[in-house]
Amino acid sequence: MGISDRIPDLSDKELEHLHANAVRLKDAGSQIQRQQAEELLPLLGAALEERRLARVAAQTETRRANTKKKKAD
């Protein structure tokens, strides 16, 4: 099982750390590390964006629910 297969199981914090490490290794790692980082960065970026959108959607839904609750009171 490669690291790319584990991305969905990582916590948000672990995902952020992995992304930061991949960015660092892309610029300063060995040839193999650079290659692996280049392969992972698009996957990590997509996972981070997907999670960000999910958080925004959840926040929007919470705001709507709170607004409806206030109107009902």
Going residue by residue through the chain (73 aa), what tens digit of pLDDT does each one get?
Answer: 788 999 999 999 999 999 999 999 999 999 999 999 999 999 999 999 999 999 999 999 999 988 887 777 6
Residue 28 lies in a domain: yes
> Rounded to whole angstroms, how far apart are CA atoms 52 and 55?
5
pLDDT value, residue 66: 87
Residue 36 domain boundaries: 9-72
Q: Tell whether 15 is covered by a domain.
A: yes
Residue 4 located in a structural domain: no
* Global pTM value: 0.81
- Asked if residue 25 belongs to a domain, the reply is yes
Residue type for 23, please? Answer: V
pLDDT of residue 8: 94
